[in-house]
Structure 1
Amino acid sequence: MAFTGKYEVESEENYDEFMKKIGLPSDIIEKGRNFKIVTEVVQNGEEFTWSQLYPGGQSMTNTFVIGKESNMETMGGKKFKATVQLEGGKVVADFPNYHHTAEIAGGKLVEISTTAGVTFKRISKRVA
């Protein structure tokens, strides 16, 4: 159950509908639709540094310890506090307007976010 690695987006499901539901403006949704986002995870026991690197040099990083309240940031840049859990090999977090899980399945990073009946799924292949 080691998450450490670098992963590049391979496929996404329900991107547009989910991003609209969480309130991202249409220009941002349009810009991000075909991004090859790279997710870099460093896991040291129960401590994680989870970064998303976007084309053009922008990035977002969340650092957290399983079971401890941490300062986090949403896809839309909103800051909040959350306690990330580990449930059955999945990293689980409740963001202000969506529920997020991440797991390693078949050597790939599988992330699922759900809000208001819409489920966004992102599968990323390991590149390092």
Structure 2
Amino acid sequence: MSFSGKFQLESQENFEPFMKAIGVPDELIQKGKDIKSISEIEENGDNFKVTVTTGTKVLVNKFTIGQEAELETVTGEKIKAVAQREGNKLKVSMKGIESVTELVDANTIVNTMTLGSIVFKRTSKRM
């Protein structure tokens, strides 16, 4: 199954505790918690381009499976990380955060980010 497509955020769990834990200011957490972000994923072999638009903020990350890439985090920090693919899952570790994006069916993507005991889960549906 291909990850390619546009997906709109449908639900999220533990948004506030996770954003606080990674250092996002309270005012931005309040602004961001009700915005339905749109994720656009372009998959071309092992090459990916992921564009996440949340209100006026646009985050673009490009990476190749198994190769180190510079990825921008939610806080705007740029870090080096390696994405791995396991079937319908993309996994990446960034500064203590384990991120797993799973294509659960043709129209649903679930992104789970784990930091210590906080599990932040976002479910998005294909548009």
Same topology, TM > 0.5: yes
Category of TM-score, reference length = shorter chain: over 0.9
The runs of 5 or more residues in structure 2 that have no matched partner are none
- 1:75 maps to which residue? 74
Contact kept, 8 Å, 1:39 with 1:51, in 2: the verdict is: yes
Give the secondary-structure state (helix, strand or coil) at the position aligned to 1:19. helix
Contact kept, 8 Å, 1:22 with 1:98, in 2: the verdict is: no
Matches within 5 A, 1:47-62: 47-56=47-56, 58-62=57-61
1:94 Cα deviation (Å)?
Answer: 0.7
1:55 Cα deviation (Å)?
Answer: 1.6
What CA deviation, in whole Å up to 9, does each residue of 1:14-72 have, x standing for no partner?
1111111111111111110001100000000100000101223x200000000000011
What TM-score does the superposition give when structure 1 sets the normalisation length?
A: 0.95
What TM-score does the superposition give when structure 2 sets the normalisation length?
A: 0.95
The runs of 5 or more residues in structure 1 that have no matched partner are none
Q: Which runs of 4+ in 1 moved over 6 A?
A: none
- 2:108 maps to which residue? 108
Q: Percent identity?
A: 37
Q: How many residues of Structure 1 are paired with residues of Structure 2 in the alignment?
A: 126
Q: Considering only aligned residues, what root-mean-square deviation do their CA atoms show, in Å?
A: 0.9
